[in-house]
Structure 1
Amino acid sequence: MDPATGRITGQVDRPGTYLVTLKARGARGRDEKKLRIVIGDQIALTPPMGWNSWNSWAWTVDQDKVLRSARALVAAGLDRHGWSYVNIDDTWQGKPDPATKALQANERFPNMKALTDQIHAMGLKAGIYSTPWMASYAMYPGSSASNPEHTWVSPPQDKRFIEPNPHHQFGAYSFAANDAKQWADWGFDYLKYDWNPNDEAHTREMSEALKASGRDFVFSLSNSAPFEHADDWARLSNAWRTTGDIVDNYESLCQNGFTQSKWAPYSGPGHWNDADMMILGWVGWGPALHPTHLSPDEQYTHMSLWCLLSSPLLIGCDLEKLDPFTLSLLTNDEVLAIDQDPLGRAATQVSTAGGDVTLVGAAPYASHGETNSVTQPRLQVWAKPLEDGSQAVGLFNLGDATAEVTANFADLKATGEQRVRDLWRQKDLGAFRTSFTTDVPSHGVVLVKISRTK
């Protein structure tokens, strides 16, 4: 262990699980804890946590913004709470190398190897983006082409996000292996692979290419993975988008978050259901950023629900504009421990009450006032089993006024007296025999951990 950074490095003779005792002492006393180090071929044993460039910088991202974001992540202390990935999304791509046929970076990323080296020097990991289509959603080169030379002619930029798009299809020639080797040579640790609908063949192709690259990659699929092929996503990737794109309104949050129960059986160490990136802090999908349109209670709901779902946690905001409230949402270790619980189970909806409510919000990338709506039960209870035998329980109120929400222990299959702890307030609430009832604010949550009393 490096005493200055706390980073643990080294080698072992064989795969396995190693328990290390960490001891700390200082002016306030002493403490110790067992650290479980698991070494083997399976990675992403807990959901990835980090930052992605899209929800703040979109197609204006560049090398300087990514490096500044990494520095801001460390300066804010987020790395000490598990936030470790710094991921470049779409629009980094330039023309392929004529010799290797692998995609190269465009002029906004003059030195990818230097960038990953600097990110790694901070104790962080680096991520990159691609698509098996000939062009990405933002109309930058993809990992396939219509010709064996992998030559590229930029289509007009006004074709971004226009569908159907002739470039949003698979080219006759795939360069997945070429690209994977290039990303490994640059030192990347994570790939977001983006097209719709995801299919088994192209997922398998890139999965094999990443494994052959000589470097470990977290392999994340985007977007809207078909549920009927959930077994394939769990077998071939480390994470898969169960939803369309999220935007910073409550309807979008509810559409992505409260529809996940059917995916729960596929969550586990090494493979995670992804409800999309976080919409906290300053966001904006380009150079004009704004504070999230979510209210404070909606932000508590967002963070609580994503942690209950064991979703990857990828901040999308400008990390140089972190305010104290956003930072508090991202650094509550008792809440983050729910997402990172080693058992890896995802929460399911266990009860509803209060009838239904219909929510309306702006659609993703709406340019002419387009809206989406979602109808959900007004009051919902979600529960997630934890490795120590306890449960994390979220009591949610989707209505427009404060309401009383009850978690019945019979619904949780919990017997005997249960101790209840409020995880946001880090406060024990007492012991209860048959149920726990509390007032929940409009669009808010009470997130608790329940465990049987001795």
Structure 2
Amino acid sequence: MNMLTAPMGWNSWDCYGAAVDEETVRRNAEYMAKNLKQYGWEYVTVDIQWSAPNAKNHEYDQFTELCMDEYSRLIPAENRFPSSANGKGFAPLAEYVHSLGLKFGIHIMRGIPRQAVHRNTPIKGTNKTARQIAKTDSICHWNTDMYGVNPEREGARAYYDSLFALYASWGVDFIKCDDIARELPQEEGELVMLSESLHSCGRDMILSLSPGPALLEKAELYKQFSNMWRITDDFWDKWELLYNMFERAEKWCVHSGAGHWPDADMLPIGPILQDYDKSIRTKFTENEQITMLTLWSIFRSPLIIGGEMTGFDEFTMSLLTNQEVLKMHSNSRHSHQVWRREMNGVEIILWTSVSSEGGQYAAVFNAGEKDTEVDISLSDLEIYNSVNGFELWSGEILSEVTSIKTSIGTHSAKAFYFYY
């Protein structure tokens, strides 16, 4: 598993909520393999409530009957994932995704199904039952599927061991575990137990924690027991949410590194909310989408596409296939905000990082409400000699410069690479 760089892939949530089905996953996997795999995009993840036969949109099917095996473990709903029939689970779908040269992921909720507790079903590998390991006062406040698991009870670890053994047998490469990132310190014991079970299952899997905002004071715990963790609640196509991400990124940037990545959440680009209306597309302007990809890339957030990929237009594809921007994402080290100040009556934000290949990146963001010109001395980046470079989005060549002189549109960004 390559954990030297932050994961890049697609997740079904922004498009289909709890209603994603197998045909949708296969269609998007095929598109990724054909059009994006060569640029580093590789994970295809099925989001929440894949075990609910009647889930129809972004609204959770609350207190619904879930599909479950005899050992208290949720399994895919066959009417939505027909290849899972006859006890095969996600193995056939994962095998198909792997055949395309991609990796397969699933969303899970922390804990054990409530219906397993109510029926007192067995736990594989032990004589304990769901009711004996459940922590029934530990519930998710926005989804009714699960109770927490009490890590101090005999049989609790056996439950998680059996869960990840099942996922390993399916060929899962990526686990997005929900209702756990911001639930610390109350659920710290369950996180540690879950992580240890995952890492002892015999298959490499990325562990992604949701929802955010994660707790900054728990950064070292996240880094020790997971690979990525959400620093925000669900991120949608609203400028105010993107604007607020600058503050989050500034606080979390020192915790990015090989194997552990603060996660700014999915990229709501192209067609989204397709379960409601096929005509819905992101409300972000093109400038705002450039800002989003620039910030996510220099900050080194995981890059997880949220849109229906088969509906991407030329501009959306240009965002996701810009090799220099993606190189900044993979090669940036020690990323941080340099300053945030007013210039010409406009709020300008300056970020920088060093490149693992030598040289230095800089990103300039216009967070204001009008187009503007900037003239930023390279001494602000601690570059004191004239240098050569180029702008990543346009490819504009810069020769023997001592400052960044450029125009930046409203809510837009420019990114630069300087070499010595």
Structure number with higher strand proportion: 1
Is 1:430 paired with 2:419?
no
The question of whether the paired residues in 2 share the 8 Å contact of 1:143 and 1:176 is answered with no
Query: What is the rounded CA distance, in whole Å, between the counterparts of 1:73 and 1:206 in structure 2?
Result: 30
Aligned partner of 1:3 in structure 2 is none
Match of 2:337 among 329, 349, 354: 349
Match of 2:110 in 1: 132
Shift of 1:117: 0.6
Residue in structure 2 matched with residue 362 of structure 1 by the alignment:
none
Mark the CA change 1:279 to 1:58 in structure 2 (over 3 Å): closer, same or farther.
same
CA shift for structure 1 position 233: 0.7
Letter in 1 for 2:293: M
Structure 1, residues 408-428: CA drift from partner, whole Å, max 9, x if none? 323222232222311011231
Kept in 1, the 8 Å contact 2:72–2:121? The answer is: yes
Which consecutive residues of structure 2, in runs of 5 or more, have no partner in the other structure?
52-65, 85-89, 123-128, 131-138
Shift of 1:378: 1.6
1:95 and 2:67 matched: yes
Q: Deviations over 1:148-178 (max 9, x none)?
A: 52799xxxxxxxx994777665245743222
CA 1:131–1:145 in 2, change beyond 3 Å: closer, same or farther?
farther
Q: Is the 8 A contact 2:114 2:145 kept in 1?
A: no
The 2-side partners of 1:57 and 1:430 are apart by: 47
Q: How does 1:181-200 map to 2 (within 5 A)?
A: 181-196=165-180, 197-199=182-184, 200=188
> Could you tell me whether the CA contact under 8 Å between 1:146 and 1:171 is conserved in 2?
no
Aligned to 2:415: 447
Distance 1:142 1:388 in 2: 51
Q: Which amino acid aligns with 2:317?
A: L
Q: 2:212 matched to 1:231?
A: no
**Alpha-carbon contact 1:133-1:144 (below 8 Å) kept:** no
Quote the residue 2:301 is aligned against. Answer: 311
- Tell me, yes or no, if structure 1 residue 47 matches structure 2 residue 10: no
Distance 1:54 1:287, change over 3 A: same
Residue 438 (structure 1) shift: 1.5
- Other structure's SS at 1:259 match: helix
- 1:62 maps to which of 5, 15, 21: 21
Give SS of 2:373's match. Answer: strand
Q: Secondary structure at the match of 2:290?
A: helix
- For residues 55 and 346 of structure 1, do their structure 2 counterparts lie closer, same or farther at Cα, with a shift above 3 Å needed? farther
Q: 1:240 aligns with which of 216, 229, 239?
A: 229
Code of the residue aligned with 1:444 in structure 2: it is S
Q: For 2:91, which of 106, 109, 113 is the aligned residue?
A: 113
Q: Is 1:80 the equivalent of 2:68?
A: no
Which residue number in structure 1 is paired with residue 55 of structure 2? none
Tell me what 1:179 maps to: 163
Match in the other structure for 2:194: 206
SS for the counterpart of 1:205 is helix
* Alpha-carbon displacement from aligned partner over 1:86-134 (angstroms, at most 9, x marks no partner): 0111011243211x33221113123221101110000000001112145
* Greater mean deviation of Cα atoms: 79-88 or 410-419: 410-419
Tell me, in whole angstroms, the C-alpha distance in 1 between the residues paired with 2:298 and 2:29.
26
Q: Could you tell me how far 1:431 is from its partner in structure 2?
A: 2.0
Aligned twin of 2:383: 414
Identify which of 283, 291, 294 aligns with 2:281: 291
Cα shift readout 1:376-427 (whole Å, capped 9, x = no counterpart): x821111122112322111111111111234332322223222231101123
1:147 deviates by 6.9
Quick check: 2:231–2:248 contact (8 Å CA) kept in 1? Answer: no
Q: Structure 1 unaligned runs (5+)?
A: 1-41, 135-140, 153-160, 358-376
User: 3-state DSSP class of the match of 2:222?
Assistant: helix
Deviations 1:179-225 (A, max 9, x none): 21111100010000111524332222121111121110011111222
Contact 2:11/2:47 (<8 A) preserved: yes
- Rate the CA distance shift 1:256–1:352 in 2: closer, same or farther, 3 A: closer
Which residue identity is paired with 2:68? P
Q: Do the aligned residues in 2 keep the contact of 1:310 with 1:346 (CA within 8 Å)?
A: no
Partner of 1:404: 373
Distance of 1:208 and 1:424 partners within structure 2: 42
Distance (Å, rounded) in 1 between the aligned partners of 2:314 and 2:115:
41
Distance 2:356 2:337 in 1: 19
Q: Residue in 2 aligned with 1:32?
A: none
User: What is the aligned partner in structure 1 of residue 354 from structure 2?
Assistant: 385
In structure 2, what residue type is equivalent to 1:407? I
Native 8 Å contact 1:404 1:438 kept in 2: yes
| Equivalent AA in structure 2 for residue 124 of structure 1 | L
Does residue 326 (structure 1) correspond to residue 316 (structure 2)? The answer is: yes
Partners of 2:344 and 2:173 lie apart in 1 by 43
CA distance in 2, matches of 1:269, 1:162: 31
Counterparts of 1:274 and 1:287, CA distance in 2 = 26
TM-score scaled by structure 2?
A: 0.82
Q: In terms of mean alpha carbon deviation, does 51-60 or 382-391 score higher?
A: 382-391
Give the stretch that moved more between structures: 256-265 or 290-299: 256-265
CA 314–259 in structure 1, closer or farther in 2 if over 3 Å, else same: same
Preserved contact between residue 133 and residue 167 of structure 1 (Cα < 8 Å): no
**TM superposition shift of 1:300:** 0.7
Give the SS at the match of 2:233: coil
C-alpha displacement of 1:67: 0.7
